[in-house]
A and B are shown apart, each in its own frame.
Chain A
Amino acid sequence: MSEQLVVSSGETPLTTRSLRILAPLKADTSGRIEVRIEDGAAEAQLSWESREATLVPNREAFIAAALLPAMQMQADLQVDAPVSQLFLESLERVQDMYRSWDDSLSRITVRGARPVVRVAGSGARAAVFFSGGLDSFYTLLKHREEITDLILIHGFEIPLDDHTTFERARAVVHGAANRLQKNVIEVRTDVRNYLSTRGLRWGRWAHGPALASVAHLIHPAISRIYISATHTYAALEQWGSHPLLDPLWSTEGLEFVHDGAEATRIDKARALAAQEWPLPLLRVCAEKSDGLNCGRCEKCIRTMINLLLAGALDRATTFEAPLDPGRVARLRFRSDSTRLFAIENLAVLGRSGEHADITRALRTAVNRSEQRRLAREMTRDAWPTGYAMLRGIRDAFLKPRGARWQ
């Protein structure tokens, strides 16, 4: 028998066992919304907080946040509250996609929801999730006339206890907002902690629903939300934010737009380089560093090569270390995505015929990564027991990736 995961607006005691999401609590003075989740003896609490926007406890936000854990636990969702009809209908396809990506997830049902038609608020605005990175800067510039608000989240890319990095990100976002005369909405949330502790991989699965939860709490103040594409149409992969998935979080009054999949990172760098002012604000690095970008990690190096190809590296002053061929050659690609970004850079470098040292170094890194991967796959196929043993040893002694979130 499946358990029931309950999203309830009231204080009605729940008769189902094991897992409950209790009433969303809204503290008007602090702008904070909390939802308590009980899982047998354990209890978790989700919160969203903003000083700049009035958060509205729309149930779509909680369903988005709880959907993947519910699918993981084979637990139905019970919602004793109004929920957008369009959103409810689209949840079927959201689940289709996630189940196709991982067949260990179960199809669940949302029970007790009263279907309603959500309407956009008067004078509703358009927002973009903005971190100061290449993708979100590209979307901001592309839709600069329409976008009114930049949403910065503390608790997604930047851990909640990392105030220094958040202050730097804040300065970047406010810098861009001031330049274009846009409003900034800061949201602080622990949704990522909740999803990560359940083993839901952030990039691959969880960040899309988490972004959706934030946007739904800001409705009806906003009627359209842009989510910047990570991958191009040609290199789509299983990813929490996806051109087929993002629009499915929409309601009748709030449209989700996955934006920018038509452009490669090099195209995006060119778009930024065409304007002088974004380059000193560019912030792509997820590592701890003294400045905006360490200049040493894979993402920094990838972006510096993007900028080099856009003819703008010398104007991008936010990287702490220069682009160094030695460092490029030593790059390690930890996912298909990062490998594909490198191959994309390599193809354009090869065609340009310039920057021979960087081209050589990047080719070395890509080839070495491909050879290691092939060796790994061949070992796995030829000697599955030994491969599993080696992985076990690695997992036992090395800190798992993403551990800082758990």
Chain B
Amino acid sequence: MRVHAPAGPDANGRLAVTLEEGTKKDSFYFASRDFNLQPSGEALIASALFAAMQSGAALGLAGTISREFYETIGDIQDILAEWHPQLAKVGIEGCQPQPCSVAPAGRVGLFFSAGVDSFYSLLKHQDEITDLIFIRGHEFRARENELLDRNARIVHETARRMGKHVIEVETDLRWLLASKGLKWVKVTHGAVMAAIGLLLQGEFRRIYIAATGNYARLDPWPSHPMLDPMWGTEALEFVHDGCELNRVEKVAVLAREDWVLRSLRVCGEYTTTAPNCGRCEKCIRTMLNLLAAGALERGPQFEVGLDAQRIRRMRVSDFHRLEDEKDNLHALAQAGAPRAIIRALRSAIHRWERRFLLMRLARTLPSPLRLLLRLPYRLLRRLGLIERRPREAGEQAAEMQGAS
């Protein structure tokens, strides 16, 4: 498989990248009106690595690449292949590893979506960070301009208030990878962020990537404290930031600034009247975080308010989200939150705990019995008598559009 790109972006700031494997050709793009993107060999490898690892073909490209990057790309692949059995380790061919020729620069960036994690990293490193990097085409397709513009406005407003630059980068790489069955949320988003960071490396010396989980809950996840720093070169360092606190603790930090709370955007669902739907598990989780921090009234806009019934009926996607909800329960009990809310949350946690336990129990049954139980289970689910496990916020939309 070969990856190549022109020497620089076109007049519209668009950089087209082509992937070729035999007669098959795929293309994707990165575009920015705020920055002259530099198609370094490292950026091309980061953007094409998943496609190559999935097809099992060596990745070829011309030119030079950073020696440090070249030496760690094998370790990156070791981790990815161990996490995702469908990926195989491949060779990198045709390029010359050399110490990075780009002079160390002075700017420091942060991938910023105005969520809890990226706001926490922004406040923590506000003296050092010079630029907020906002990615278009990530959570929704680029054509979803209205929603993206609204999110961009929050990012620009935050940057204006804190005296930072904004670099918007648009890409459709997510959709190309999704069309190959590589899921954005669980597999590819870390590499795409690394590719975008590496397109900026001419002027940046460090880029922060805000952590999703804390050290106690480190699952295989595309952006990970072990993986993110490995994408760095001699001239650019990636820092995975914020693993020291859980989400409850991060929101407590954000609650010190009213304007930060008002600017929060945590929801990955399509909304029309407010930036956050207030109905999905992530919105409810964040509202509970805010309540525990005594900051719900000062918080961001949600289409609907916090409601005990909705908490009770909340759907939890996996064991780790359940652990987050347990953090919330603990913090709410300590903060003396209304008993109805605590009871509703406890009820939701117990319901999902039982559900996950039963799912695990079912896996220990002999296969004929499992097969026998599957039919009535599916029937009950179809009739709506058993609730479906929800997907991660935005995951469903991403997969639908990726498949289209």
Contacts and interface: CB of A to CB of B under 8 A. Distances in A.
Interface of A: 93, 96-97, 99-101, 232-234, 236, 238, 243-244, 261-262, 366-367, 370-371, 374, 377-378, 381
B214 A366 contact: no
Contacts of A374: 357, 360-361
Nearest to B349: A381
Interface in B195-229: 214-216, 218, 220, 225-226
Contacts of B220: 233-234
Contacts of B244: 93, 96, 99-100
A238 B244 CA distance: 14
Nearest to A234: B82
Nearest to A371: B364
B22 to A, nearest CB: 30
B79 interface: yes
A233 B361 contact: no
Contacts of A96: 215, 243-244
Given A261-B82, A374-B357, A381 B218 contact: no
B117 to A, nearest CB: 15
B215 A100 contact: yes
B78 interface: yes
B353 interface: yes
B83 interface: yes
B350 interface: yes
Interface string B347-366: 00010011001001101110
Contacts of A244: 215, 218, 225-226
B316 to A, nearest CB: 15
A234 B216 contact: no
The 9 A-B pairs of least Cβ separation, nearest first, read A100-B215, A262-B78, A96-B244, A367-B364, A233-B82, A370-B364, A97-B215, A100-B216, A233-B79
A371 B361 contact: yes
Contacts of A232: 82
25 contacts: A96-B215, A97-B243, A99-B244, A100-B216, A100-B244, A101-B215, A233-B78, A233-B82, A234-B82, A234-B83, A234-B220, A243-B226, A244-B215, A244-B225, A244-B226, A261-B78, A261-B82, A262-B79, A262-B82, A367-B364, A367-B365, A371-B361, A377-B357, A378-B357, A381-B354
Contacts of A261: 78-79, 82
A208 to B, nearest CB: 14
Given A97-B243, A244-B218, 17 more contacts: A96-B215, A97-B215, A99-B244, A100-B214, A100-B244, A100-B246, A101-B216, A233-B79, A233-B82, A233-B83, A233-B220, A234-B220, A262-B79, A374-B357, A374-B361, A378-B357, A381-B354
Contacts of A238: 216
A182 to B, nearest CB: 25
A327 to B, nearest CB: 20
Nearest to A264: B82
B75 to A, nearest CB: 8
A216 B225 CA distance: 25
Nearest to A377: B357
A377 B361 CA distance: 12
Contacts, number: 58
A296 to B, nearest CB: 25
Interface string B72-88: 00010011011100000
A100 B246 CA distance: 8
A146 to B, nearest CB: 15
B227 to A, nearest CB: 9
A104 B214 CA distance: 16
Given A97-B215, A100-B243, A381 B82 contact: no
Contacts of A381: 350, 353-354
Nearest to B217: A100
Contacts of B81: 262
Contacts of B350: 381
Nearest to B84: A234
A268 to B, nearest CB: 13
A234 B224 CA distance: 12
A367 B243 CA distance: 34
B38 to A, nearest CB: 30
Nearest to B363: A370
Contacts of B361: 370-371, 374
Contacts of A367: 364-365
Contacts of B225: 244
B71 to A, nearest CB: 14
A42 to B, nearest CB: 32
A233 B227 CA distance: 10
A373 to B, nearest CB: 8
Contacts of B357: 374, 377-378
Nearest to A258: B226
A101 B243 CA distance: 11
Contacts of A234: 82-83, 220
Nearest to A370: B364
Nearest to A378: B357
Interface string B48-74: 000000000000000000000000000
Q: Which of A93, A234, A377, A378 has the most CB of B within 10 A?
A: A234
Contacts of A243: 226
Nearest to A93: B244
B322 to A, nearest CB: 12
A339 to B, nearest CB: 11
Contacts of B83: 233-234
A370 B357 CA distance: 10
A378 B358 CA distance: 10
Contacts of B226: 233, 243-244
A370 B362 CA distance: 10
A371 B357 CA distance: 10
Contacts of A366: 364
A101 B217 CA distance: 9
Nearest to B218: A236
A367 to B, nearest CB: 4
B325 to A, nearest CB: 14
A260 B156 CA distance: 45
Contacts of A371: 361, 364
A266 to B, nearest CB: 13
Interface in B248-303: none
Nearest to A107: B244
B245 to A, nearest CB: 8
B259 to A, nearest CB: 28
A258 to B, nearest CB: 10
A233 to B, nearest CB: 4
B327 to A, nearest CB: 10
Contacts of B78: 233, 261-262
A97 B216 CA distance: 7
A30 B216 CA distance: 42
A256 B164 CA distance: 38
A97 B75 CA distance: 22
Contacts of A370: 360-361, 363-364
Nearest to A102: B216
A243 B215 CA distance: 12
B225 to A, nearest CB: 6
